[in-house]
Structure 1
Amino acid sequence: MADRILILYGSYRADRMGIRLAEFLVDAFRARGAEPELVDAKAIGLPMLDRMYKEYPAGEAPPAMQALADKIRAADAFVFVTGEYNWGVQPGLKNLTDHFLEEWYWRPAAIASYSAGRFAGARAGLAWHGTLSEMGMVVVSSTLAVGGIGRALDRDGKPIGDGGAALAKAFPRFADDLGWWAEAARAQRAKVAPPY
């Protein structure tokens, strides 16, 4: 069974560079036989969090929120593609994530960070680790961190230069780690209902 993987991306900036990493991940997971789907917070356009999905009466959530809730529940795994804003997480991705809670439970998540500078979004990745764990996901130990993103991926998300070569080399272990946990979680959910 092919892993259904949501690739979540949250920049709202006009000249988004991280979309290159998100597109690379979609292509790379598809090449391995998975079923990845890009979830672009800017394209979905959820409002600033006022009411979580679960706080709406059944059938009354906004259509975009309902559609995303269905996708999250159907997914086997998640990849959070995060830039770093002032040592912190992107507000667009955080806002999208916070609209849901139980929908995330009992599935693995992986973190792919990036920045224009040499720290490669590592501080945002670290912040996301605790957030995703608190939201009921198992965060895999493998991460991707892409520094100098404009010199590592071209406009089509294809690896270029030394940074791109390093990303391409690191991706298989990252994907293997996420795939192992996705299969383990899927098998366990089929065997026994989650405890809550």
Structure 2
Amino acid sequence: MFRWKWILIYRVEVTGMKHIKILGITGGVGAGKSTILAYLSKKYQARVIELDKAAHLCMQHGTDCFDRIVNTFGREILTEDGSICRPALSKIVFADRSKVEELNRIVHPAVKNYIREEIQKETEKGSVPFIVLEAALLLEDHYDEICDEIWYIYVEDEVRIARLSSSRGYTPEKTRAVLKNQKSDKEFRRFCQLVIDNSSDNVENTYKQIDRGLGTHGFL
């Protein structure tokens, strides 16, 4: 339901502790970000945080975010086990633009607080070289305010269409419709510090770009 596609870098100023960089990576649907996140985690032992998964954690039973959502949208959004039924919540909020905004005002600050807490923990431990944040709406949600850099994962449209057809069963029309509602390639490039071209079937080409970018942009 909630998709974020930027990877961020957040500055944490802690006396006596080394600054840890936060790398933000973003891109449209079908860009292959999961492959890149896995590579950064495996090769560089970076801490990877996907904001969509963070949102799930923030909405779990027992959190302040959970209580505020239930109080706002009613107990009819709960499943039998007491957890939030995301399809039921989606049905409510997407029928009314104002309710989407209301939900975002609850969830987005909670996710940002979670991210800050996790960055603080990693800074104190000092065991990872950098942190990677992944989300779809990093610019829209102003995550650029807590980033060192944001990298854009680019994929040619025809490659994207083929990949989504294979992986998710999307028709070309559905993929184009989804892309139409996302930022344009021009907008992504305008706000990102590096573009990674992930169009090639040879993933090693993508890995080489990442390796080079980490070195030249001061992450290693």
Q: What is the TM-score normalised by the length of structure 2?
A: 0.36
Q: Which has the greater radius of gyration?
A: 2
Bigger helix share:
2
Give the TM-score, by structure 1 length.
0.39
